[in-house]
């Protein structure tokens, strides 16, 4: 079963706007990762945030982590049409040796 719950399931915005996706999880984690998947393709690793970190940036991406609420958010600023994809959060759980993925957010950027 999947641990992560992503919200919203689908998001459609205009190019240039910011996109925010949220992820909640249930167990203690070592780190949380975000991945992007274009239709019919493999997943691409975007960013990893460790359990002792609260915020991380990479280019137009900003990730926050609140371990007390067991939640994370991914913000994509100044969105582009090429950002259209599904985005997944994945948790590296303490005591496990695998990532557990959520069901993803389908992001559509309208030109």
Partner 1 sequence: DTGVSQNPRHKITKRGQNVTFRCDPISEHNRLYWYRQTLGQGPEFLTYFQNEAQLEKSRLLSDRFSAERPKGSFSTLEIQRTEQGDSAMYLCASSPTDYGYTFGSGTRLTVV
Burial of 55 (0-12, 13-18, 19+ CB in 10 A): exposed
Judged by CB under 8 A, the chain residues 32 through 71 that form the site for partner 1 are 33, 35, 40-45, 48
CA atoms within 13 A on the CB side of 60: 12
First to last CA, the chain: 36
- Tokens at 57, concatenated: 């940036």
Minimum distance, C-beta of residue 11 to partner 1, in the bound complex (Å): 15
The stretch near partner 1 (CB under 8 A) out of 11-19, 25-33, 54-62, 63-71 is 25-33
The stretch near partner 1 (CB under 8 A) out of 12-20, 64-72, 77-85, 93-101 is 93-101
Among 90, 107, 77, CA closest to 24: 90
The stretch near partner 1 (CB under 8 A) out of 11-19, 56-64, 66-74, 99-107 is 99-107
- Residue 62 CA, distance from chain mean position: 10
Nearer CB in complex with partner 1: 17/50? 50
- Judged by CB under 8 A, does residue 98 bind partner 1? yes
Residue ranges that bind partner 1, judged by CB under 8 A: 2, 4, 30-31, 33, 35, 40-45, 48, 88, 90, 96-104
């Amino acid at each position: 079963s999947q641990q992560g719950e992503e919200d919203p399931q689908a998001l459609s915005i205009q190019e240039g706007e910011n996109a925010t996706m949220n992820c909640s999880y249930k167990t203690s984690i070592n780190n949380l990762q975000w991945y992007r998947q274009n239709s019919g393709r493999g997943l691409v690793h975007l960013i990893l945030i460790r359990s002792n970190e609260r915020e991380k940036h990479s280019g137009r991406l900003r990730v926050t982590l609140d371990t007390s609420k067991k939640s994370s958010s991914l913000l994509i600023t100044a969105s582009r049409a090429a950002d259209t994809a599904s985005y997944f959060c994945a948790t590296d759980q303490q005591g496990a040796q695998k990532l557990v993925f959520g069901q993803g957010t389908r992001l559509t950027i309208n030109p």
